C-alpha cells in the first residue's frame, strides 16, 4: 500500500498544452511537496504547500486538505518541462509517490 499515489504514471503532451498531474495521499501531513527530477537524477523542489494554491511562472500547485488531494498544473507546456514530477508528503516522515513521467513534444 502506497501512502502517496500519483496519476498518470506517464504523460505525453504537445507543446502548448495544459497539463495536470494528480496526487492523493492517505496519511496526516504537515506539508505536501512537488519535486521535479530531470534525466541524470537531480531533484529540484518546485513547491511546498500546506493549504490553498501556489504559482511559480507557468506552474500552479493546489491542495485540498479535506480530500487529501493535490494537483500540479503546467500551462503552455514546453519541451524543457519534460521530466519526472514527484509528489511527496511530510509529517512525521517523508513519503514519496512513484512519479509522473512527462514528455512534451515540440
Of 97, 100, 102, 104, the one binding other proteins by CB under 8 A: 97
Name which of 104, 101, 105 is nearest 9 in CA terms.
101
Per the CB < 8 A criterion, the answer to whether 98 and 6 are in contact is: yes
Q: Which range of residues in 11-19, 32-40, 59-67, 73-81 is near other proteins by CB under 8 A? A: 32-40
Using CB under 8 A as the binding rule, whether residue 57 contacts other proteins is answered as: no
- 4-7 sheet: strands from edge to edge: 4-7, 19-25, 69-74, 59-64, 52-56
Retrieve residue 55's grid coordinates.
504559482
Q: Is 40 in the site for other proteins (CB under 8 A)?
A: yes
Three cell numbers, residue 57: 511562472
Stretch that binds other proteins, among 18-26, 37-45, 53-61, 72-80 (CB under 8 A): 37-45
Instruction: Give yes or no for residue 31 binding other proteins (CB under 8 A).
Output: yes
CB-based contact 87:70 (threshold 8 Å):
yes
Q: Which stretch binds other proteins (CB under 8 A): 13-21, 57-65, 72-80, 88-96?
A: 88-96
Q: Does the footprint of other proteins cover residue 23 (CB under 8 A)?
A: no
Amino acid at each position: 500500500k502506497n501512502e502517496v499515489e500519483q496519476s498518470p504514471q506517464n504523460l505525453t503532451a504537445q507543446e502548448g498544452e495544459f497539463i495536470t498531474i494528480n496526487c492523493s495521499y492517505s496519511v496526516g501531513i504537515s506539508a505536501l511537496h512537488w519535486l521535479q527530477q530531470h534525466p541524470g537524477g537531480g531533484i529540484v523542489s518546485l513547491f511546498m504547500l500546506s493549504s490553498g494554491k501556489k504559482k511559480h511562472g507557468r506552474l500552479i500547485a493546489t491542495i485540498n486538505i479535506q480530500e487529501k488531494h493535490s494537483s500540479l498544473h503546467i500551462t503552455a507546456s514546453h519541451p524543457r518541462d519534460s521530466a519526472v514530477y514527484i509528489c511527496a508528503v511530510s509529517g512525521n516522515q517523508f513519503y514519496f509517490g512513484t512519479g509522473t513521467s512527462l514528455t512534451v513534444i515540440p
